[in-house]
Each structure stands twice: as structure tokens, then as C-alpha cells.
């Protein structure tokens, strides 16, 4: 079993599904170290040789690779030799339907614009790819390493999406849940009904970085000299009766008229435990730090009546 990098839960209405996050990527970059050319020792903080404990001049520092316990020094010429030819060229390898590429392979997206005087060739490629309704799998050299990427068209502009290689995607067999126990048909129907209540078209403008806004609010308050009090962390509990929690979630969504996207003023059931705790603190709810999500919702509803 791989090591979890984060643990929490998925809030599905009033239902909390405890989960853990595992890295799906295992990048295969060479683990290079800064080393002292004279003795091969690694360079520590502030360019200090870990063996001698003394600062090392820049001209005595190189990159080295630990090959079975032996440090192999690499010079600029060695990196140049590994680059090969065509390091300034994006080479198209294949044209494929973009929807066939699993998003797990995508790392980062870049806009691709034409150089001055190359607009016609650029537009020709864009138009041809748009009419073919295909994306290009490409290979290019970027930031000291060879990269795999996808070249696609968006609103008349080429986008380059850096990709991971197939062997950088970690296996998931140890993470996939077992199939012990049979799913209850009523629970599944309730879950589907709740999903239907939240279903709509994707609009990225509906989603905002609320943490950044709250942090900026803390900065503004501290600048005014206000005392900042962090809300007590509340423990989330798995529902004792899953069907009841699902049914309550559906009924709450019906009352709120919830359909398609997050509203500006989210219903209590859609808030996180931290957000509920902060709201309960402002309402003067006592004992909030020991309440589950359901208890916080009930306590806030009573306090707001």
C-alpha cells in the first residue's frame, strides 16, 4: 500500500466519505545533487560541503548522480550530449482524439503563439486540426529534459499540455476499494437523486478561491490591529445510518431549490466542517469543537431561528 499524503473526507450532502489521497504520479527525473568537485561530497545549505563543513566556491560545484553508491559528476557537455538534435523543435508524433487521453496524464498547460511573420502557417495548422477534430501528441525538449505533450486547439489558439509518460503513472490496485458487501438499491437511488440535484453545465466562473479571500481578510483585520481567533477544529463523523443521511441530503437540496453549480450563499449541508465551525463561532454556539457535521448543522439552524 502506498503512503497517503493527505486524509480527510468527501462531503456528499450530509454524507461524509472518509478518504485518503495518494500520489498518482512517480516522475522519473534523475535525482541530481550539487557536489564538491574535489571530493564528490554533497553541497549543503549555503553551498557548504557536508564533508568538510566549509563553504565551497561556485567553480568547484557541479551536478552529480548517485549511481549505486558512486557519485558520477556531470558537466555541461554531458547534458548537451544527452539532448540530441532538434532541441528547439516540437515534433508531432501522432494525431489522436483528445478525449482518448486520460486527464491523469496532463501536468501543465501553456499557450502557444506564432512568431512574427509565421501567422499563416500557424493558422493553417489550427484550421486543419480543428476540421480534423484531433489533437497532436508531440515530443520536445524543455527546461533541460525531453517532454511528452499534447497540442490541441482552443478558441483558435494552440495549447500545449505537458504530459507524464505512461511509466510515471503509479498503479492503483492497492488503492482501489474492495467489493465486500452488496450495495443497497435504495441507497444508490438516493445517491443518484442527490447527484441529479447538483447536475448542471460546467461554468468555471462559479468557483472561486475562497481560502485566498479569507486569508486576505485575515491580513486586513491584522493590519487594523484586530485579534485573530482560529476556529476550533471539529471532528467529522461517518453517518450511522447512510440511507437516512442521503434522504436528508435530498430533502435539503429540494428545499433549497438546488440544481447546477454552487450558489453564492451555500446551504449549510454544502459547507465544510471548518466553515460550519466558523459560522457556529460567530453565532456563539457552545461546544462546537466537539460536534459532528450533522450536529453543527442542527445547532446553527437552531441558533439562526
pLDDT per residue, tens digit, the chain (305 aa), is: 567 656 655 555 555 566 576 656 566 666 667 788 888 887 766 678 888 888 888 888 888 888 888 888 888 787 777 766 656 778 889 999 999 999 999 988 888 888 888 888 888 999 999 999 999 998 888 777 788 989 899 999 888 898 999 998 988 888 888 877 788 888 888 888 888 888 888 887 777 777 788 788 888 888 888 888 877 665 655 556 778 888 888 888 777 665 544 443 346 766 777 778 778 888 888 887 778 777 788 888 888 76
Ordered structural domains, the chain, with CATH: 32-83 (no CATH), 84-168 (2.40.290.10), 185-304 (no CATH)
Q: How far apart are CA 214 and CA 231, in angstroms?
A: 13
- Other beta carbons within 10 Å of 118: 10
pLDDT of residue 261: 40
pLDDT of residue 47: 77
pLDDT of residue 13: 55
pLDDT of residue 257: 64
Q: How far apart are the first and last CA of the chain?
A: 48
pLDDT of residue 108: 85
Query: 0.75 cut: is pTM over it?
Result: no
pLDDT of residue 247: 82
Distance of CA 244 to the CA centre of its chain: 32
Q: How far apart are CA 33 and CA 41, in angstroms?
A: 10
pLDDT of residue 134: 93
pLDDT of residue 265: 38
Amino acid at each position: 500500500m502506498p503512503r497517503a499524503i493527505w486524509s480527510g473526507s468527501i462531503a456528499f450532502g450530509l454524507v461524509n466519505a472518509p478518504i485518503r489521497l495518494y500520489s498518482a504520479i512517480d516522475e522519473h527525473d534523475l535525482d541530481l545533487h550539487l557536489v564538491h568537485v574535489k571530493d564528490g561530497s554533497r553541497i549543503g545549505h549555503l553551498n557548504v560541503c557536508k564533508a568538510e563543513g566549509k563553504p565551497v566556491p561556485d567553480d568547484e560545484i557541479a551536478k552529480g548522480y548517485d549511481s549505486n553508491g558512486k557519485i558520477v559528476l556531470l558537466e555541461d557537455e554531458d547534458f548537451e550530449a544527452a539532448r540530441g538534435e532538434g532541441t528547439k523543435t516540437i515534433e508531432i508524433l501522432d494525431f489522436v482524439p483528445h478525449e482518448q487521453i486520460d486527464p491523469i496524464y496532463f501536468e501543465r498547460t501553456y499557450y502557444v503563439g506564432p512568431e512574427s511573420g509565421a501567422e499563416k502557417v500557424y493558422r493553417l495548422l489550427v484550421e486543419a486540426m480543428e476540421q480534423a477534430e484531433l489533437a497532436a501528441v508531440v515530443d520536445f525538449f524543455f527546461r533541460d529534459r525531453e517532454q511528452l505533450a499534447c497540442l490541441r486547439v482552443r478558441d483558435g489558439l494552440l495549447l500545449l499540455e505537458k504530459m507524464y509518460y505512461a511509466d510515471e503513472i503509479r498503479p492503483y490496485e492497492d488503492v482501489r476499494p474492495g467489493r465486500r458487501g452488496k450495495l443497497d438499491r435504495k441507497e444508490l437511488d438516493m445517491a443518484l437523486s442527490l447527484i441529479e440535484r447538483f447536475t448542471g453545465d460546467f461554468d468555471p466562473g462559479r468557483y472561486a478561491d475562497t481560502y485566498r479571500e479569507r486569508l486576505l481578510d485575515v491580513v486586513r483585520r491584522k493590519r487594523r490591529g484586530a485579534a485573530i481567533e482560529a476556529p476550533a477544529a471539529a471532528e467529522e463523523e461517518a453517518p450511522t445510518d447512510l440511507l437516512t443521511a442521503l434522504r436528508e441530503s435530498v430533502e435539503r437540496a429540494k428545499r433549497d431549490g438546488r440544481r447546477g453549480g454552487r450558489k453564492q450563499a451555500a446551504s449549510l449541508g454544502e459547507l465544510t466542517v471548518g466553515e460550519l465551525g466558523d459560522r457556529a463561532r460567530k453565532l456563539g454556539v457552545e461546544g462546537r469543537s466537539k460536534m459532528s457535521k450533522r450536529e453543527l448543522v442542527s445547532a446553527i439552524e437552531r441558533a439562526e431561528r
